[in-house]
């Protein structure tokens, strides 16, 4: 019998499966990433310690969805950049078009995960607590950014897309 502590994380397998599902169904896969010193992304696009990346094959080149890291090249404002995201820093993967996807437990500053389980999201819930950041230009802070996130009738936060 396989002992849970010895088992590898399900996160990279779920990321690959949902990426494939998005691609097969003509959706655009996005990942929300918790940015820290281990994540290599253009810092000018990071907002509130997070970044949302388009990981479709059209938006990336040389993508590798490995068990430990996601690596690819992407253009930001026309400049090619090398992106490296440790799998355990991925907060969610979802389809841009309908919000269906999966959120993962967030990592706290001491490296432990907050939340005990991985959760499949319904379309109305998929964007909860995620803030999308456009990859075409850096976002600028506006007074509305300081407002609390919009909520849905069930009280859950909803996605605010910044372009």
C-alpha count within 13 angstroms, C-beta hemisphere, residue 4: 0
pLDDT-derived band at 156, boundaries 50, 70, 90: low
Local structure of 17: helix, strand or coil? helix
Domains and CATH numbers, the chain: 7-162 (2.30.30.220)
Local structure of 149: helix, strand or coil? coil
Map tokens 């897309």 to a residue: 161
Residue 2 has pLDDT above 80, yes or no: no
pLDDT at res. 34: 95
Contact (Cβ atoms closer than 8 angstroms) between residue 159 and residue 131 = yes
Q: How many angstroms separate the Cα of 124 from the Cα of each of 6, 30, 36, 108?
A: 35, 16, 28, 26
Q: How far is the C-alpha of 83 from the C-alpha of 114, rounded, in Å?
A: 25
pLDDT tens digit string along 95-154? 999 999 999 987 655 555 554 333 344 443 444 334 333 333 343 444 344 444 454 555
Residue 16 has pLDDT above 70, yes or no: yes
Q: What does pTM read for this prediction? A: 0.66
pLDDT tens digit string along 28-83? 999 999 999 999 999 999 999 999 999 999 999 999 999 999 999 999 999 999 99
């Amino acid at each position: 019998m396989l002992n849970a502590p010895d088992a590898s994380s399900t996160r990279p397998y779920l990321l690959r499966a949902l990426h494939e599902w998005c691609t097969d169904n003509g959706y655009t896969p996005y990942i929300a990433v918790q940015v820290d010193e281990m994540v290599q992304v253009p810092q000018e696009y990071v907002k509130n310690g997070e970044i949302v990346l388009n990981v479709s094959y059209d938006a990336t080149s040389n993508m590798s969805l490995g068990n430990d890291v996601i690596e690819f090249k992407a253009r930001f404002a026309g400049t090619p950049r090398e992106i490296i995201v440790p799998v355990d820093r991925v907060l969610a993967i979802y389809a841009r078009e309908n919000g269906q996807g999966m959120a993962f437990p967030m990592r706290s500053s001491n490296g432990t995960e907050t939340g005990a389980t991985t959760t499949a999201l319904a379309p109305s819930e998929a964007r909860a607590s995620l803030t999308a950041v456009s990859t075409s230009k850096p976002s600028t802070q506006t007074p509305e950014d300081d407002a609390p996130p919009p909520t849905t009738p069930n009280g859950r936060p909803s996605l605010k897309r910044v372009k």
